[in-house]
Amino acid sequence: MRLGEIVTAGVLALLSIYMMWKSTELDIGYIRGSGPGGGAWPFWLSAIMLLCCIMIAINWARRTSPPSQSTEPVLDAEGRKMLIQVGGGLLVFIGLVGFISMYGAMMLFLFYYLWFLGRHKLWLSLLIAIGVPILFFFFFEGLMRITLPKGMSFTDPFFNVLYEIIY
C-alpha cells in the first residue's frame, strides 16, 4: 500500500505537469470581454491536482496517512474485481462518446455505476443518470459555450430540444 500511494501520487503529479504545460498552448488568463481563456480551467485544475500530489508525497514521507503506514497489498481480490468493472465501464463510456454523444455515454455510465455497481434504487439511478448529463449540457453548452462531442446524427433531435431552451 505504501509503495502504491507514492507511485500513484508520482504518476498523477507527472500528468498534472504535462497538462499544465499543454494547456499553456491556449490562453490561461482572463480575456477582457470574453472570460477565461481556453487553457484556464485545465491549467488551474492541473495545478491544484499537482499541489494535492505534493501534499500526498509529504504525508507519505512523514508516514502520517494510513496508506503510508500500511503493509497491505494495494489491491486484494475485491479491489481487482472493482478495478475491472469500473475500468471496463470507463472504456465502454469512451468508446460510446463518438456514437451516442458525450452526454448519452455519460448517462449510460452513470446508470451502470449507480444501479449495477452501486446497487442504488432504480428510480434514484435513473434520476441521476438523466439529470446530471442534462445539467452538464446546460453548463457547457449554455454557460461556458463549450461544445462537447454530439455523436451520430440520430441524437440531434434530443439536442435540438435542449438548444431551444438555451436560445
Contacts (Cβ under 8 Å, ≥6 apart) of 150: 101, 102, 156, 159
SS3 24: coil
C-alpha to C-alpha distance for 15 and 42, rounded to whole angstroms? 12
CB 100 within 8 A of CB 109: no
- Provide the grid cell at 104: 448519452
Query: Is the pLDDT confidence value at 13 over 80?
Result: yes
C-alpha to C-alpha distance for 70 and 84, rounded to whole angstroms? 23
CB 19 within 8 A of CB 46: yes
C-alpha to C-alpha distance for 126 and 136, rounded to whole angstroms? 16
Model confidence at 70, pLDDT cuts 50, 70, 90, reads confident
Model confidence at 166, pLDDT cuts 50, 70, 90, reads confident
pLDDT at 155 (0 to 100): 78
What is the pTM assigned to this prediction?
A: 0.69
Query: Is the pLDDT confidence value at 138 over 80?
Result: yes
Between 72 and 90, where is the model more confident?
90
CB 131 within 8 A of CB 146: no
Query: Is the pLDDT confidence value at 160 over 90?
Result: no
pLDDT at 35 (0 to 100): 80
